[in-house]
Amino acid sequence: MGLGVSIGHITDSAIISLITVVALLTIIGSSYYFIYSDRIIRFLQPLLHSIDRWKQVSQEEHADTASYDIVVFGNHRTGDGIVNMLQKSEKHFIIVDYDPQVIAKLQKQ
């Protein structure tokens, strides 16, 4: 802020006061949050519970209930060789990839 004032970017004293108050409130608020986070969370629990419930329903719609021994991220280069080895070992695994062509190829197998 000092540089903004010295080069003339911030000239209105009301803006300077607002920036100072916001900075002080942020510093004080974050300090209290670290000290009293458990009490704050308990106080906000009803609001957080309703948000979390919505999130759980959304996750349940897309959840895969199967259990996997191994998760392979990416199947293009090295992942392809790893998948071939896993298929021979009869391990239960899942492949996560963002490339639609790779996904289409895997779905055909």
Distance from C-alpha of 40 to C-alpha of 44, rounded to nearest angstrom: 6
What local confidence, expressed as pLDDT, does residue 61 receive? 53
Q: What's the confidence (pLDDT) of residue 41? A: 82
Residue stretches of the chain with pLDDT short of 70: 1-2, 52-65
Q: What is the pLDDT of residue 64?
A: 60
- Tell me which amino acid residue 55 is: K
pTM, two decimal places:
0.38
Rounded CA-CA distance 26/9 in Å is 23
Q: Which amino acid is at 95?
A: I
Q: What is residue 65's predicted lDDT score, i.e. its pLDDT?
A: 64
According to DSSP, residue 70 is labeled E
